Amino acid sequence: KNQVEQSPQSLIILEGKNCTLQCNYTVSPFSNLRWYKQDTGRGPVSLTIMTFSENTKSNGRYTATLDADTKQSSLHITASQLSDSASYICVVSGDSSYKLIFGSGTRLLVRP
C-alpha cells in the first residue's frame, strides 16, 4: 500500500535553532516529492518539489533532501523563527501526477 510516514509527530525548538523533519514513503513508482507548510487554519503552501533525480533543493532557510534509493526525505530548517511554527507536510506523487499521497505532518512549535 502506498504510504507516506512522517516523524516526529510534533517538535518544539527554541528560536534560532535548527531542526530536521523526516519523511519515509513506500509509494512506487515514484514521481516526485513535495514539502508543504501549513499554518493553523489555512491551506498548505508549497516549499519544495523534487524529482527522483534531485538530491537537494533549497527555498530560503528550508532545505529538502531526497534519497530515492532508501525512499527517505528530510526537511531541514535553519535558524528557526517564530513564524516557522506550523505543520510541515510531506507529499509524494506516484504513477499519476494528479493523485498525491499526503503524510500526516509534523507539527513544529518554535518558542522564543
Partner 1 sequence: EAQVTQNPRYLITVTGKKLTVTCSQNMNHEYMSWYRQDPGLGLRQIYYSMNVEVTDKGDVPEGYKVSRKEKRNFPLILESPSPNQTSLYFCASGTGTGLYEQYFGPGTRLTVT
Residues at the contact surface with partner 1, assessed by CB under 8 A: 4, 32, 34, 41-46, 49, 51, 89, 97-100, 102-105
Cα–Cα distance for residue pair 11/6, rounded to 1 Å:
12
Q: Closer CB to partner 1, residue 41 or residue 60?
A: 41
CB of 41 vs partner 1, minimal distance in Å: 7
Burial of 4 (C-beta count, 10 Å sphere; 0-12/13-18/19+): buried
Min dist CB 48 to partner 1, Å, is: 10
The count of other CB atoms within 10 Å of the CB of residue 10 is 11
70 vs 97, beta carbon nearer partner 1: 97
